[in-house]
Structures are given as C-alpha cells and as structure tokens.
Amino acid sequence: MKLEGKSALITGASRGIGREIALLFAEEGADVAVNYRSRDDAAREVAEMIEGMGRKALLCRADVSDSEDVRSMARSIVDGLGGVDILVNNAGVVQDGLLSRMSTDSWNRVVEVNLTGAFNCIKAVLPVMMRRRWGRIINMTSVVGQVGNPGQANYSAAKAGLIGLTRTVAREYSSRNILVNAISPGFIDTDMTGGSDRLDRIEAMIPLGRMGTRREVAQAALFLVSDATYTTGTVLNVSGGLVM
Ligand code: NAP
C-alpha cells in the first residue's frame, strides 16, 4: 500500500473525481478527510465506504471559498486525523456563459471556489506540512485553463490561475519537501459534464476517442502523491491527448 500512515484532505469528495480520489487513496492505506459543500448523504456514503476499508474518515462540510470555514476544517482534521500530509484541491464549480452576458457574481463565484478555495486550503494546511517537512499538494486544473473555451471565461481564468499558483507554491516550499503539482483533466464522465448534448463532437476531438473515467484521474493523483518523488511544479494532462 502506497499511502499507509498518511492522512489526506480531498476537497469536493462527495461526488465525481474527488470521490474517486478519496476512495483510491483509502484503498492505498490513507485516512481521509472528505470535504464537501452541500450533499451530506453523498459525502456520508463516501466516508462509510472508507471506514469499511478499515481507514479513518472525517466528514468535513465546508465551503472552500470561505477562509474561516477552511481554517476551522483544518483544525478539526488535525484533531481527528492527527495532521494533513496530502491535500487535493479538487472542489470546483462552473457557471458558463459568454463573457458579454456573464454577471460579475458568476465571475466571482467561479474564481472564489476554483482558485481562492485552493489558496485558502493550502494556507490552512501548510504549517502542518512544514513542521513535518513532508507534504503533497495537487491542484485540479483543466485543459481549458491552458487553451481556453468559449463560454468559460470565469472557469478557464480560474483554472489558468491554479497553474500559476501551483508553480509558485512548488518553488516556495520545495526546500520543505512539499511537492506541488496540478492535474489537468480533459473531459471526464461526471455530473459536471453529464447531460452535454455535444458529447459526440467532443469525443471526436479526443485522440483516444472517448471521455476519461474518474478512476483514470484518481490513478494520476495517486502517482503524484506516491511514486513521483522528483516531480514538482508540473501540470499533468489527463485528457486522452486532447491537449499535448
Ligand atoms: P462534480 O461532479 O460537479 O463535483 C464537484 C464537487 O465539488 C462536489 O463534491 C461538490 O460538493 C464540491 N464543491 C463544489 N463547490 C464547493 C465548495 N464551495 N466547497 C466545497 N466543495 C465544493 O465535479 P467533477 O467533474 O468531479 O470535477 C472535480 C474537479 O475536476 C473540479 O475542480 C473540476 O473543475 C475539475 N475538472 C473536471 C473535469 C470534468 O470533465 N469533469 C474536467 C476538467 C477539470 P457537493 O456535492 O456538496 O455539492
């Protein structure tokens, strides 16, 4: 098992990619703090599955865009799991629309959750990682943060910002053995992409010819927090070749 003795905070772990990462990390021996914002039942189910594997699970309802919420979540994880070795900033939202019709509220909300949320969580767990001189941080960006996407000015700007954040934090804390990387998924089968009426056209653009699975993103995350000991500040595309 690759993560025995480690504790991980996964934001947005009630559903989708975050849920899969939480379950895979638990399979590999980690205790997991399951963060979410609203879906109590879904989050509880993830926590029960983790406990069923014999690991500790901590339910952490907190809005990552709220710095006070995040600070108190970090304190409860230190009390409940003894620390945070691994942070995956996965929580994300979309509120799509062409820029000319995008409200300031919609811009702000998407940036606050996707980008400021990661800043808040990193800030809250860094002191613990620095004391331990060991830490792994993953920021979940997106291919649209690299190439843009019509209708997603807010989201692609936030995801591009996450890449800059990743590289800066990687440089600032490398001497403390805190490795910081980003994963850039393409089109993954989750609630966020569900119901798209453009799936056929999207799949035709992907060299591997299909959407990715949550498990495929989780495997990339596992690699970055376990075997990838000489990798920091990188952006790992998990996009079936959509971006290369
Ligand atoms: P999803 O299925 O919509 O799940 C989103 C998760 O984020 C849920 O657990 C949700 O909690 C949580 N969340 C939302 N706002 C939050 C907040 N303010 N505070 C705490 N948690 C919050 O999304 P997904 O498709 O798995 O995406 C996961 C990440 O991958 C996101 O950052 C997304 O931008 C990125 N990504 C996804 C794709 C894709 O194709 N799916 C592609 C590129 C990047 P509740 O259940 O409580 O609402």
Counting residues of the chain whose pLDDT is more than 70, the rounded percentage is 100
Bridge partners, 238 (sequence order): 185
B/e letters for 59-82, b = 16+ CB within 10 Å, e = fewer, are bbebbbbbbebbeebbeebbeebe
> Is residue 155 among the annotated active site residues?
yes
Average pLDDT over every residue of 32-41? 98
Reported confidence tier of residue 166, pLDDT bands at 50, 70, 90: very high
With a 6 A CB cut-off, is 184 part of the ligand 1 pocket?
no
Look at residue 141 in the predicted model and tell me its pLDDT. 98
> Radius of gyration over alpha carbons of the chain, in Å?
17
Residue the block writes with tokens 């998990």 = 238
Look at residue 110 in the predicted model and tell me its pLDDT. 99
Residue the block writes with tokens 């509120």 = 95
Domain spans of the chain, in order of start:
7-238
C-alpha 114 – ligand 1 centre gap (Å): 9
With a 6 A CB cut-off, is 11 part of the ligand 1 pocket?
yes
Residues 186, 171: contact at Cβ < 8 Å? no
Residue 194 has pLDDT above 90, yes or no: no
Q: Which two tokens stand for residue 45?
A: 């189910």
Q: Supply the mean pLDDT for the chain.
A: 97
Look at residue 198 in the predicted model and tell me its pLDDT. 79
Residue 197 has pLDDT above 80, yes or no: no
Reported confidence tier of residue 220, pLDDT bands at 50, 70, 90: very high
Q: Please provide the DSSP assignment of the chain as one string.
A: --STT-EEEETT-SSHHHHHHHHHHHHTT-EEEEEESS-HHHHHHHHHHHHHTT--EEEEE--TT-HHHHHHHHHHHHHHHS--SEEEE-------B-GGG--HHHHHHHHIIIIIHHHHHHHHHHHHHHHHT-EEEEEE--THHHH--TTBHHHHHHHHHHHHHHHHHHHHHGGGTEEEEEEEE-SBSSTTTTT-TTHHHHHHHSTTSSPBPHHHHHHHHHHHHTT-TT--S-EEEESTTS--
With a 6 A CB cut-off, is 16 part of the ligand 1 pocket?
yes
- Of the candidates 158, 164, 154, 159, which has an alpha carbon nearest to the alpha carbon of residue 141? 159
Look at residue 114 in the predicted model and tell me its pLDDT. 99
Probe ligand 1: pick from 41, 90, 196, max atoms within 8 Å of CB? 90
CATH number among 3.40.50.1860, 3.40.640.10, 2.50.20.10, 3.40.50.720, domain 7-238: 3.40.50.720
Cα separation, 129 vs 41, in Å, equals 30
Residue 189 has pLDDT above 90, yes or no: yes
The pLDDT tens digits for 97-144 are 999 999 999 999 999 999 999 999 999 999 999 999 999 999 999 999
Reported confidence tier of residue 49, pLDDT bands at 50, 70, 90: very high
Cα separation, 23 vs 219, in Å, equals 11
